[in-house]
Each structure stands twice: as structure tokens, then as C-alpha cells.
Amino acid sequence: MIELFSADTPNGKKISIMLEEVGLDYKVTKVDLNKGEQFQPDFRKISPFSKIPVIIDHKNNKETVFESGAILMYLGEKSNKFYDQKDRLKINQWLMAQMGYVGPIIGQHHQFHHYNPGKSKFGEDRYFKIVKTIYRDLDERLAQSSYLAGEQYTIADIATWPWIARHEWHDIGLKNYNNLSNWYLEIAKRKAVIKGYDFMKRGEAIPLP
């Protein structure tokens, strides 16, 4: 059994979606970020930067894994799904791009544009512009292949999709990006994605463009 320490955020949803996709038995332990539960000493033992998501694999000697990209790789290797050995070089590149660029930049856009509008024109303009570029670049990539790392749905898509699922907050107009919105909608139809998206069981529906 996998224990998932998480909160209802794009990084959190990556892992619930992956767990639903691979069909591993899991339970969710909620970490209330607003209450600062991520800073509790017990949680910091498994999450050195006080961040969700983290997993404990109770079937593998209570192995703990932090960082969503590392968790996706671990679960991909464990299940032999969505992380084919032969495609790993491509998958790793798109996964690292999500971890190091797409997620952190969209996260800043959420901070300036969605949560704190009016506080910094520079921050709002800067991240709006870069997120627009990210939409364009992903759209161009998805004109060349059905999924980010090629013709197969992989952990790179699972990592990126929950960030695009916040498209209403982005105000960029997902439907103006045909390839990106087709990819988004295709993935949004998957049963595991619908279930993993609502892993907090609040009846949360996937926002459609």
C-alpha cells in the first residue's frame, strides 16, 4: 500500500492521477498547507523542504520518496507503466522541463495574477508573458506528436497536465491553442485522470476550455 501525503494542488494531483493510472492501492493523508502542517517535525522527516507530495511505500520497506518528478519515476518503474525503458531519454527531458520550468513558472503566474493581483505589475506582466510562451511552445510540440514525449502517454504528460488544468486562472485562452487543448481534452477523458483529479473527493470536475 502506498501512502500519499498531499494537498489539492497541481503537484499533488500529479501523484493521485498516476496512482489511479497504475492501479496501485493507496491511501491519502491530507497535509493542510494553510494550517502549516507541512512544517510539522514528523512531516519534515520525510520531506526535507516541507513540501507535498511525498509517498511512503509500505510494501517496499517503508521507502519514502519526495519531489513529484522522482515519485512519478519511482511509480513508473515500480508498475512498469507510462515510463518505458526505450523512451526514457525523451520522457526524462519533458519531465525535467515540467519540473524545472513549466511548473515553477506557472506557479509564479498563479501567485501574481491569481492570488495577488495589483501587488506587482512587473511580476504580473513577467509571468503572464512567460506562461503565454509556455502555452505556445507546448502547442508547437503537440503539433509534432500526440503526447509530450512521443506517441505514448507517459509520466511527462501526467506531470504537465494538472498545471494546464488551472487554465482558467491563467487567462490565456486554452482553446486558442488547438494542439494543446486537444491533448488536454484527450487526457481529461481518462477515467484515472477524472478520479485522480478529485482525489480529495470534493466532487471537483475538470475545468474544460
Ligand X SMILES: N[C@@H](CCC(=O)N[C@@H](CS)C(=O)NCC(=O)O)C(=O)O
> Interface residues with ligand X (CB under 6 A)?
9, 11, 33, 38, 50-53, 67-68, 99
Least distance between ligand X and beta carbon 67 (Å): 5
- Helix ranges (H only) for the chain are 10-22, 41-46, 68-79, 88-97, 103-109, 121-144, 155-164, 167-170, 178-188, 191-197
Identity of the residue, 52 or 164, whose beta carbon is nearer to ligand X in the bound complex: 52
Phi, psi (5° rounding) for residue 139? Answer: -60, -40
Per the CB < 8 A criterion, the answer to whether 134 and 106 are in contact is: yes
Identity of the residue, 18 or 139, whose beta carbon is nearer to ligand X in the bound complex: 18
Identity of the residue, 65 or 138, whose beta carbon is nearer to ligand X in the bound complex: 65
Cα 104 to Cα 99: distance, rounded to the nearest angstrom = 7
Least distance between ligand X and beta carbon 68 (Å): 4
Order of strands, sheet of 26-30, starting from the edge strand that comes earlier in the sequence: 26-30, 2-6, 54-57, 63-66
Identity of the residue, 70 or 208, whose beta carbon is nearer to ligand X in the bound complex: 70
Least distance between ligand X and beta carbon 21 (Å): 18
Cα 182 to Cα 177: distance, rounded to the nearest angstrom = 8
Least distance between ligand X and beta carbon 204 (Å): 16
Residue 176 CB contacts under 8 Å (≥ 6 apart), including other chains: none
Least distance between ligand X and beta carbon 98 (Å): 9
Cα 10 to Cα 17: distance, rounded to the nearest angstrom = 10
Identity of the residue, 9 or 181, whose beta carbon is nearer to ligand X in the bound complex: 9
